[in-house]
Each structure stands twice: as C-alpha cells, then as structure tokens.
Structure 1
Amino acid sequence: MKTAQNGDTVKVHYHGKLTDGTTFDSSEGREPLEFTIGSGQVIKGFDEGVKGLGIGEKRTINIPVEEAYGPKQDDLLIEFPKDQFPEGMEPAVGMALNMRNEQGQAFPVTIAEIKEASVVLDGNHPLAGKELVFDLELVEIVGEKSGLILPD
C-alpha cells in the first residue's frame, strides 16, 4: 500500500485538541486540509504525523510545544496606553485586535491584561506554549513527489 511521504501532496481530515481535550480546530464538516508534506505549509509535528499513513488510515499524535507553535515569548507582550485606543472602544481581556509595526505590516494581538492606564497586548500565537493533540485521517494522496527533493 502506498503511504504518504515527504514531498507528497495529501488531503487530511483532522481534529485538533489541547491536552485537556478542548478542541481548537477541526476539518469536520469542511473539505479536508490539502498540503505538501515537508513544504512548511503546516507545523512540523503535523507533517511528521502524516508521514507513513496509508489512504483511509487514522492516527492520533501528540505534538510537543517545540514542534507546534513554540514556547510563549515574553518579548511579544506589549504594554499599550489606554488613551491611544479609538474613542468609544472598551478593551476587554481576550479581545483580538490587529496592530501595525513600523513597516506598516499588520499582526494579530490579544488583550492579555488590563491595567489602570495601559493594556497588555500578547503578540504570541494563541497556541504558543501548548502541546497539541491531533486525530488524523489520510483521505487522499493527490500527487506524489516530483523531482523536487525535500529534506526528511
């Protein structure tokens, strides 16, 4: 039986959970996720979890923090003055916002804490610092690797 290898384009159904069982994403009710193994389109641990699966096979994998979104970085916590928020906007913990850096590029942040005169914004990925669990099912191998050689 053909199994998924580095460089193959595959379609995968998945259910992503935290270690406490909380679901953070799932392909249920949607088209399966299509990506090329080893291309950097998905996190490293997800790539590794799909390798070796045959069509129709299922597997549950645990992805450590380092192979997921990495550890939380304290330098991505930004203290922002409350008086610089748009008038009428009431900041709340958990609120998702977009900021712009000096080059004008937008990046997402979440309000982590509200202080008297400022708000602490968290620029970390929401899943940074978390171990992830995925239930995977290989639906299809769309295309096998071509002459392109990707590192294992």
Structure 2
Amino acid sequence: MVKTKKGDFIELDFVGRIKSTGQIFDLTVEAIAKKEGIAAQGKFEPMVACIGSGQLIAGFDVAVSGKEVGAEFEFDLKPEDAFGRKNPKLIQLTSLSVLKKKDINPIPGMQLDVDGAMATVRSVSGGRVILDFNHPLSGKELHYWAKVRKIITDKQTQVESITKLLGIPCEVSIKEKTATLKLDQQVPKQITDVISKEIEKHVAGISIKFAG
C-alpha cells in the first residue's frame, strides 16, 4: 500500500475531540456532525493539506505521515503538540465599563475581538472581566480519529487548497507551469507575495501570476 510522506498533499477526514470530555471541536464528516447535532456555517467536506508545511498542528502533522492511504487511525495529542500550554501572561483583567463603551456585554464563554485579538471571557464579576487571549484549546489534551482518503497529485487542487487555507477566494487556472489566480477582490501586494511564496514553496514546478 502507498504511504504518505512529508511534502505530500493529502485529502483526509478527521474528527477532533477534547479528550477529557469527548466534546467535538472540529470535524469533516457530515454524517457524524448530524449524529452529534452539530451545525456549521459551511459544509462538511474532506480537508486537503500538505504534510510538513505547517498547515496542520504539529502533532497532527506527525501522526498523518507514514500512514497507508485508506487506513483509519486514532491518536492523542498532548497540549504541547497541539495548541500549546496556557500562557498566564495572556490572561488579563479589564473593566466592564471599558467593554460596554464598545457596545460589548460580556458573558462567560463568549469570544470577543479585542483590538484585533481574539479573547475568551472567563468571568464577569464586580465590574471586572477576565479575558483569556490563549487559544481556546490551549492546555487541552486532544483525541483524533482520522482517515487519509488519497494523495493529491493534481497541481490545480494543490494550489486551490493553499488559497483556501489562507482564506483567499479566487479562481485558479493552470497552463503549462504557470498558475493564474483571479482574485475576487483587490488585495495588497504584501498579501499576494505571501500567497505566491506559499504556493511556489509547496507546489513543485509552479510559478504564480495574478489576474485582475
């Protein structure tokens, strides 16, 4: 059987759970989502990622390398191999009045955008609010079920997977060794430079150009 390796683009399904509670925090399988009563803004579909590119969290990246295509497997990740341990310096105390001036009425568990940084409200008491700027899954041990569906060799699918992960809506067309990206909206040059660098780094033999 063919096994995955660093540099491969793979299509995979997975279900990620918080190990201590069994709560699902991310998944790609629609049937499981329906069974668990999970709703999503988008549709559930397999993920495409490049092994060793940093597109997956560190422990997940290691776990999917060397696996047979079609095989199902499960694994646990310690916090340091997932979303990191909690950093006490990222837990801050602020005044409730400051947030209310921004038309924010915080309640515990709510996630807020505070000056461009995401924070979770940990407590609201006595006019004070504790905000946690750590990743919501930091400090958590995770459990994954995963299945490598196939290795992706099609260059267009590889390029499209990178633009999707970067959150850049665009149309991709490839002619010979050039991928043309037609962006839905105008973006700064520093952003197109990042897109080009990521694609040319991970998709062998492809150069990038942008169409208006």
TM-score by structure 1 length? 0.87
Residue 100 of structure 2 aligns to a residue whose secondary structure is coil
Structure 2 counterpart SS, 1:53: coil
Cα distance in 1, alignment partners of residues 14 and 60 from structure 2: 10
Task: Find the counterpart in structure 1 of residue 27 from structure 2.
Answer: 26
Distance between the aligned counterparts of 2:151 and 2:104, measured in 1? Answer: 48
Aligned to 1:112: 122
Q: 1:125 aligns with which of 132, 135, 143?
A: 135
Give 1:147 deviation, angstroms. Answer: 6.1
User: Radius of gyration: which is bigger?
Assistant: 2
In the alignment, the residues of structure 1 paired with residue 104 and residue 86 of structure 2 have an alpha-carbon distance, to the nearest angstrom, of: 27
Give the one of 97, 107, 110 matched to 1:83.
97
Query: Is the aligned partner of 1:35 residue 2:49?
Result: yes
Higher strand share: 1
Quick check: 1:98 aligned with 2:108?
no
Distance change in 2, residues 1:146/1:72 (3 Å): same
The count of corresponding residues between Structure 1 and Structure 2 is: 143
1:17 deviates by 0.8
1:48 corresponds to which residue? 62
**Which protein, 1 or 2, shows the higher relative CO under an 8 Å CA cutoff with sep ≥ 6?**
1
TM-score for both structures, normalised by structure 2: 0.63
- Report the Cα distance in structure 2 between the residues aligned to 1:46 and 1:89, rounded to whole angstroms: 36
Q: Give the Cα separation in 1 of the matches to 2:203 and 2:68.
A: 19
| Residue 81 to residue 92, structure 1, CA distance change in 2 (3 Å) | same
Deviation string 1:77-133 (CA, Å, 9 cap, x unpaired) is 111111112356432101110011xxxxx1210100112121010001011001111
Cα-Cα RMSD: 1.9
Structure with more helix by fraction? 2
Q: Which runs of 5+ in 1 are unaligned?
A: 101-105
